[in-house]
Amino acid sequence: MAYAKRPIRRSALIGPWGVGAIVPFPNDESLMIAGLDAWRYNNPKPFVIKDDRLTKRLGVSELRWPPDYRENNADPVNSNLKIPTVRFPTWYYCPFCGQMKQTTYYETQPRCDAIQWKEGRKCSDKVRYRKTMIPERFIVVCPEGHIDDFPVAEWVHYNSGHTYNPSTCKIRRSTGGASANLTGVFYQCTCGAKRSMAGATKKGALEKIGYHCNSSKPWLGIKGEEICTAQPDDVKVLLRGATNVWFADTRSSISIPVDDDKTSRIILGIVNDNFESINSMRTNGELDRTIINFLASKNGVDAEELFQAFVNRANNILENNDINENMSEDEYRLQEYQVLSRSRSSLDFQSINHAINEYDPLIHTFFESISLVPKLRETRAFVGFSRLEADQKPISERKKELRLGDKEDWLPAIEVFGEGIFFKFNSQKLQEWAKSPEVKNRVDALNAAFHRAKFGANTTGDLRPEYVLIHTFSHLIINQLSYDCGYGSSSIRERIYCEKTDDKLGMCGVLIYTASGDSEGSMGGLVRQGEHGRIEDTIIGAIKNAQWCTSDPICIQSTGQGPESLNLAACHNCALLPETCCENGNCLLDRGVVVGTIDNPELGFFKNLCDV
């Protein structure tokens, strides 16, 4: 069911919210974004995002912007589009009298109809009282992605000597007592049953009262139609606003050139506007020269040059035919890495590669080259979600949870524009450093935690020191860039080109870029800071600041900190960043491999810059 006048940013539907997420709205309204089957586009063509590489990577026919509200006079066809939602949770209570009521996914927010005064007026009739009830705070979440209302009736009537009758039993909710924990939340039924929430979050509490996951998927309108494979003890009671109720799984892509750098802007514009239609009208596999000649004459450009531009575009797109859902993320990024390592240009992308000898000799041994990226386009697509823990699943499995059938062959996405700096490390120097016994011993402690954690459960091989170094360096440089060029750290992101455990592709770089989609999207400050005479000071400043943390010596001597001990010397005072910046949830970081430790200062890759 669609609800009007509840605004939400389109980019927020990729994260932090999306299909299956509970979105809090004013006036204590709680709604869940419905599945893609319910999303309506009267004419989807204006919403399509053109990104051939990412579309093939995700195995769909289209990527679309989420629908936005449009006035009739602006776009009569796509006017008054809304994001569909369902109401969840369905248990509500009155904050004044405690009366509880259960609705359905599609009803409006209920009003309290309890009689409170001798005059016979309802609780909601009194002016100073709120008119609507409040959704229940507690819900049940399953690791398989299912979500359900907390079984209030079963909980309060368990082992009470009373039987719940929906037609006669009325449950009231109350809070009180000196304690602020769950023992202060009570449910009481008119039949005499009464129980607090004490113990509801303990392992096995729901199984004890006879509750088992019923495979509820409110965003699809499904309940009890599947068999849940999760263990009963793994089903948990959470607050509906808890951060582990919903984790977005998004995939992103940097748009790379598919045209010749020498092609003029006018011809590129013609190719962009007409390529799909002309490519679909091939005769015996050949492009139709007649139509291309007509377009050349109409726009006053050379027909042969225009034809060659169409041919180049078609040939470059054919190179992406090996992209599929089963390829790894590193394999997908290899093409981006190769483009960023040299100078390239197109309508949506521009990279200017500078050999490291163009910069100060102080940084020559650490990098092979630095590329300035004045223009880039990033596409971010929402492919699915998980609950309780952010797990890794194949894209094909993720997509199944977003729709009822296979009719909707598209995914919601957004595109943002920005700028960046690409650092390509000296691979020979990096490999020599990583082979050092001291470095290996340092990373072994992090590697053990990596294999114990769910974060690395599906990976084989040991964690590479090169990855930890590049990842930590990107965090340190982002912090320094936010000081030097004025960007907020939350608007700068990292994109790492380095394999975590293998070295099959030979990538060793990182792209630091801003692509926030708002006023901080691209102001030129980041690229300017990457120029000769500036980036050297930024790198040296980042390294020097990393030598000492306000939590030292505790931080630098740590043997494991952060979620599941997936960091060594990295805390909020030195290397951690806002969630929007990091690809790994602020995990796999260690200042020790960058600047060395107190006991072994020679351990750091950038040890020569520490005394500059």
Q: Quick one: how far is CA 141 from the chain centroid?
A: 20
Instruction: Determine the pLDDT at residue 237.
Output: 93
**139 exposed, middle or buried (CB, 10 Å; 0-12, 13-18, 19+)?**
buried
The more confident residue out of 488 and 568 is: 568
| Cα–Cα distance for residue pair 251/55, rounded to 1 Å | 11
Alpha carbon distances (Å) from 568 to 148, 348, 449, 519, 607 = 38, 39, 10, 35, 18
Question: Do 601 and 608 touch, CB atoms closer than 8 A?
Answer: no
Position 387 pLDDT exceeds 50 = yes
Query: How many Å apart are CA 144 and CA 216, to the nearest integer?
Result: 10
Token readout for 208 is 């004890």
Q: Check residue 506 and give its pLDDT.
A: 92
Contact (CB, 8 A) for 340 and 421: no
pLDDT at 318 over 70: no
The pair of three-digit structure tokens given for residue 30, joined into one six-digit string: 């709680």
**Measured CA distances, 73 to 69, 76, 78 (Å):** 12, 6, 10
Copy the structure tokens of residue 432: 């020599």
Query: Is it the case that residue 8 has pLDDT exceeding 90?
Result: no
User: Could you tell me what percent of the chain has a pLDDT over 70?
Assistant: 90
53 vs 56: CA distance, rounded Å:
5
Cα dihedral: 409, 411, 414, 420 (round 10): -100
Q: Cβ distance 53 to 13 under 8 Å?
A: no
Q: Return the pLDDT at 3.
A: 47
The residue to which tokens 């368990």 are assigned? 158
How large a percentage of the chain has pLDDT more than 90?
Answer: 48
| Confidence category of residue 117, pLDDT binned at 50, 70, 90 | very low
Tokens of 595: 């600047």
Say which residues have a Cβ less than 8 Å from residue 536's Cβ, sequence separation at least 6: 359, 360, 362, 363
The string over 282-310, giving b where at least 16 C-beta atoms fall within 10 Å of a residue's C-beta and e elsewhere, is eeeeebeeeebeebbeeeebeeeebbebb
pLDDT in tens, 136-193: 999 999 999 999 999 999 999 998 888 888 888 999 998 876 566 788 899 999 998 9
Q: What is the pLDDT of residue 575?
A: 94
The C-alpha R_g of the chain, in whole angstroms, comes to 28
In this predicted structure, the answer to whether residue 456 has a pLDDT above a threshold of 70 is no
How confident is the model over 316-344, as a mean pLDDT?
86
What mean pLDDT do residues 583-606 have?
A: 93
Q: Comparing C-alpha atoms, which of 363, 388, 351 is closest to residue 533? A: 363
The pLDDT, as a whole number, for residue 1 is 41
pLDDT in tens, 233-265: 889 999 999 989 999 999 999 998 876 767 777
Bridge-based pairing of strands 48-49 and 62-64 is: antiparallel
Mean pLDDT of 485-501: 89
Tens-place pLDDT, residues 45-91: 889 998 889 999 999 999 999 988 776 666 777 777 888 999 999 99
Summarised one tens digit per residue, pLDDT across range 518-564 is 544 456 688 999 999 999 999 999 999 999 999 999 999 999 998 88
pLDDT at 149: 94
Question: Is the distance from CB of 61 to CB of 55 less than 8 angstroms?
Answer: yes
Tell me which H or E stretch contains 375.
strand 367-386
Mean pLDDT, the chain, integer: 86
Highest mean pLDDT among 318-327, 364-373, 510-519, 599-608: 364-373
Which of 30-39, 123-132, 365-374, 593-602 is least confident? 123-132
Give just the sign of the alpha carbon dihedral 495, 496, 501, 503: positive
Residue written as tokens 């801003």? 514
> What's the rounded Cα separation, in Å, for the pair 139 and 285?
57
Q: How far apart are CA 458 and CA 482, in angstroms?
A: 35
CA 607 to chain centre: 34
Q: Does pLDDT of 294 surpass 80?
A: no
Per-position DSSP letters for 471-495, written without gaps between them: HHHHHHHHHHHHHHH---GGGEEEE
Beta bridge partners of 217: 222
